[in-house]
Amino acid sequence: MTYAAEIQRQRATIASLGEKWAAIDPDMAARMAVQNRFRTGLDIARYTAKIMREDMAAYDVDPASYTQSLGCWHGFIGQQKMISIKKHFGTTKGRYLYLSGWMVAALRSEFGPLPDQSMHEKTSVPALIEELYTFLRQADARELGMMFRELDAAKDAGDAVNTHRLLREIDEHQTHVVPIIADIDAGFGNAEATYLLAKKMIEAGACALQIENQVSDEKQCGHQDGKVTVPHEDFLQKIRAIRYAFLELGVEDGIIVARTDSLGAGLTKQIAFSKEPGDLGDQYNAFLDCEEVAPTDITNGQVFISREGKLLAPKRLPSNLYQFRAGTGEDRCVLDCITALENGADLLWIETEKPHIGQIGGMVNRIREVIPNAKLVYNNSPSFNWTLNFRQQVFDAWEADGKDVSAYDRARLMSVDYDGTDLADEADERIRTFQKDAARDAGIFHHLITLPTYHTAALSTDNLAREYFGEAGMLGYVKGVQRKEIREGIACVKHQNMAGSDIGDDHKEAFAGEAALKAGGKDNTMNQFAA
């Protein structure tokens, strides 16, 4: 609905209620409605699911149409990210938000900082989704509010050209609300617990939920040791639970991202149930590290499975966990992915130990032999040492090609001594094009960085603390922060406006008329940033 049509709708509503609503301005009511186009989290989930489905279809046609996101641990961080994207690129198309369970655990738990082991309150996840969208909706209201002020000024000046332009821009305003891929970890319990939490996350606005095939009560960060996976049927129950949650809430296009940690997980808690040779349970059990046992050699406490007429004893650790055979990680990942897609998942996530296009692409090619349009969400993780990994990849490629690498020590390639060398420059170029190349060659539809704003907050705070508490004093803030904000057009340099002061003034004027006590008068020090 256009702004003009919304005004007409509000006029009709107000007129129908007679004199008692005579003081209500239909134009202001229309502005408030336009500034808040999303009424509920489910409105957001339905709207963003459609966007994400369209983006997935576009990627299937052209892998250059991959999408990206950054992990955000606070609504303000997500808001500033989207404001920045609109400022620099003019559109939010193809840019999402990522909600990292790691950052919820480390930064948002009432227990204080926690490791990424699903120990944080499960309710903190939907709470953060709701917070992120609250801040994005406020960014819409702020931006449109400034446009309405410009519109009033153009009308007062009799400027028909700018009036027409602003009315068109208001009608075509692109929201800051974008899809969010939200981490539900391993579901925080059984399938019923997963279903209940999924509903809360969807109701808060999430259109895409990422779930992993680890044991809930043994869950570890994807880049830590000691990961324990579950048999496929256990995982598929949770995928089905999430789909039921989406359907119950009327988000038919909701997206499920199935993550496998099998590449780095060498342990399982269960032996899978199997009815017949070759079924899914039997395939899972085939990866177990077993020893054939003669009946005369059975010892106390052993557990056995039978296969092809043989009695096999899976190796069981003192932790009561069973281990997989070494070198089976990629095969298990491929089976996990195919099984998940065949049973209702929409996208895959393979957690790897390094960002290597050949490794990822090799697995994706095998998956696509069964599911031709299989595609990934991939974690461009800060847990990888990108500099060292890519310098070593270049070193290995050069060595394989017979190029002289005697000037380089492979183990020391992180050293600043190699900065500016041909090898370092080629590695940096490979890092720069990694997302484009991996989208084309490794089936990666969505690139995200899980924890970037955790690291940028730490880095910027360290820089400010070093300067402000050192010799620079106040210049440390002014030169290092405020002057840059002003010259680079960072919206929150006017922090009162960013926090909603001008929106509040507009509302005060609507509510109280000439009696309104507004904050944005001539004595507001934010006016110093107008120049």
Binding residues for Mg(2+): 183
Phi-psi region of 142 (alpha: psi -120 to 50; beta: other; left: phi over 0): alpha
Where do we find the tokens 């900082």?
Answer: 113
Residue 41 near residue 133 (C-beta atoms within 8 A):
yes
Q: Is 221 a catalytic residue?
A: yes
Q: Which residues are annotated as a binding site?
A: 100-102, 183, 222-223, 259, 379-383, 450
Where do we find the tokens 């209940």?
Answer: 196
- For residue 263, report the phi and psi dihedrals to the nearest 5 degrees: -60, -40
How many C-beta neighbours within 10 Å does residue 400 have? 8
The enclosing H or E element of 393 equals helix 386-400
Residue 448 near residue 81 (C-beta atoms within 8 A):
no
Q: Which residues are annotated as a binding site for substrate?
A: 100-102, 222-223, 259, 379-383, 450
The edge-to-edge listing of strands for the beta sheet with 267-268 is: 228-229, 267-268, 322-323
Residue 3 near residue 37 (C-beta atoms within 8 A):
no
Cα–Cα distances in angstroms (integers) from residue 477 to residues 465, 468, 485, 524, in the given order: 9, 6, 11, 21
Q: How far apart are CA 122 and CA 197, in angstroms?
A: 7
Tokens of 253: 């296009």
The enclosing H or E element of 128 equals helix 124-156
The residue among 390, 474, 483, 481 whose CA lies nearest residue 431 is 390
Residue 105 near residue 177 (C-beta atoms within 8 A):
no
Burial 169-188 (b: 16+ CB within 10 A, else e): ebeebebbbbbbbbbbbbbb
Strand positions, DSSP E, 34-119: 67-71, 95-99
The residue among 11, 29, 34 whose CA lies nearest residue 172 is 34
Letter for the amino acid at 341? L
Q: How far apart are CA 467 and CA 79, in angstroms?
A: 27
Which candidate in 72, 207, 221, 337 is catalytic? 221
Strand positions, DSSP E, 140-233: 180-183, 208-212, 228-229
**Strands 267-268 vs 228-229: parallel, antiparallel or unpaired:** parallel
Catalytic residues: 221
